């Protein structure tokens, strides 16, 4: 099953929809996060027969506009770790992102004037579909609602101001997320999907990898993070980025006003976002 959150232009603003070929069918929920928080969401989404919209020209909001948590993972692709000159980690490196950072699949990325080192990080997002606390094995697998495309756009100059990364990772209106949530049963590898991921800047492929290269796969991440705190429906785990980021290039390369950043993962769709200098 494939789900999305679209902007409807009506009083409610957004609607969760099931993607059915070239049609989008409203489920009766304000967004995918609200749908996932509803008991029996799978059956409700599959049976939905609400208002329909065409897929072509849809205005996608962030897949989950206001998740309770966005937990991000650093240094989680073997090739990226080696690219950065580090050793494979024993435990996941975690940091936080906040909902204000999220944008839709075709929204503009805000280039803040305070940073001149805005980098790209194509990522697989893991979306939680049920409450999980100290989950392991089958329980951790069952907590995964599905997967989506995300780009953890990063202000490198702010990230490395201190040993703590958060301040470079959660700038407002910078993080494309969507357009679709795809359930594991539709993907090769299921809850441990093996999908081709790539990022492009102005049509040039700058990142390319398989999600099978993750050091800590989605199930392992749910197990680890749910040991620390309760994961709830609609929470998001950004699983990390492969090699090819601009900061690691020689010379370093960053997003500029007018650049177009595309992030795509086989089976999950793509985001396409223009970087636009923010006027303050």
Q: Tell me whether residue 142 is in a domain.
A: yes
Is the same domain home to 109 and 30? no
pTM here is 0.96
Q: Tell me whether residue 118 is in a domain.
A: yes
Q: Tell me whether residue 260 is in a domain.
A: yes
The answer to whether 199 and 123 are in contact (CB under 8 A) is no
As a whole number, mean pLDDT of residues 232-243 equals 97
Greater model confidence, 222 or 78: 222
Please check the confidence at residue 10 and state whether its pLDDT lies above 70.
no
Is the same domain home to 253 and 168? yes
The answer to whether 8 and 44 are in contact (CB under 8 A) is no
Is the same domain home to 24 and 126? no
What single-letter DSSP state applies at residue 162? S
CA 250/CA 244 separation, integer angstroms? 11
Q: Tell me whether residue 75 is in a domain.
A: yes
Is the same domain home to 222 and 110? yes
Q: Are strands 260-265 and 269-277 parallel, antiparallel or unpaired?
A: antiparallel
Q: Tell me whether residue 60 is in a domain.
A: no
- pLDDT single digits (tens) 12-64: 699 999 999 999 999 999 999 999 999 999 999 999 998 999 999 999 999 99
pLDDT the model gives residue 167: 94
Is the same domain home to 236 and 270? yes
Is the same domain home to 47 and 100? no
pLDDT the model gives residue 34: 98
State which residues form the domain around 121: 70-277
Q: Tell me whether residue 245 is in a domain.
A: yes
Average pLDDT in the chain: 96
Is the same domain home to 43 and 86? no
Of residues 54, 9, 4, 53, the one with CA closest to residue 29: 4
Is the same domain home to 101 and 238? yes
Is the same domain home to 104 and 9? no
As a whole number, mean pLDDT of residues 69-86 equals 85
Q: Tell me whether residue 153 is in a domain.
A: yes
Quickly list H helices, the chain: 32-36, 41-47, 78-83, 138-142, 156-159, 218-228
Is the same domain home to 8 and 108? no
As a whole number, mean pLDDT of residues 260-269 equals 98
Lowest mean pLDDT among 8-17, 139-148, 214-223: 8-17
Is the same domain home to 212 and 158? yes
- pLDDT single digits (tens) 96-147: 999 999 999 999 999 999 999 999 999 999 999 999 999 999 999 999 999 9
pLDDT the model gives residue 85: 76
Is the same domain home to 98 and 206? yes
Q: Tell me whether residue 83 is in a domain.
A: yes
If one counts the domains in the chain, the total is 2
pLDDT the model gives residue 126: 98
């Amino acid at each position: 099953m494939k789900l999305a959150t679209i902007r409807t232009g009506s009083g409610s603003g957004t609607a969760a929809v099931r993607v059915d070929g070239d049609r989008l069918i409203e489920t009766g929920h304000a967004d995918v996060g609200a749908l996932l928080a509803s008991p029996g969401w799978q059956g409700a989404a599959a049976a939905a027969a609400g208002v329909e919209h065409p897929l072509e020209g849809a205005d996608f909001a962030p897949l989950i506009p206001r998740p309770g948590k966005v937990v991000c993972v650093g240094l989680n692709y073997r090739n990226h770790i080696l690219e950065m000159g580090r050793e494979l980690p024993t435990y996941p490196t975690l940091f936080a992102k906040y909902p204000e950072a999220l944008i839709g699949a075709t929204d503009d990325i805000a280039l803040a004037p305070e940073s001149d080192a805005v980098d790209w990080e194509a990522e697989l997002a893991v979306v939680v579909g049920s409450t999980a606390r100290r989950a392991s094995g089958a329980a951790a697998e069952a907590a995964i609602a599905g997967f989506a495309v995300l780009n953890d756009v990063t202000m490198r100059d702010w990230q490395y101001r201190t040993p703590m990364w958060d301040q470079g990772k959660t700038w407002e209106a910078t993080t494309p997320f969507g357009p679709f949530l795809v359930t594991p049963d539709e993907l090769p590898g299921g809850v441990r999907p093996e999908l081709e991921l790539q990022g492009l800047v102005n049509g040039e492929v700058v990142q390319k990898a398989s999600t099978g290269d993750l050091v800590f796969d989605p199930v392992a991440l749910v197990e680890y993070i749910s040991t620390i705190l309760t994961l709830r429906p609609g929470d998001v785990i950004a699983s990390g980025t492969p090699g090819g980021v601009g900061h690691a290039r020689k010379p370093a390369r960053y997003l500029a006003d007018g650049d177009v950043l595309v992030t795509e993962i086989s089976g999950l769709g793509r985001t396409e976002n223009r970087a636009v200098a923010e006027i303050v």
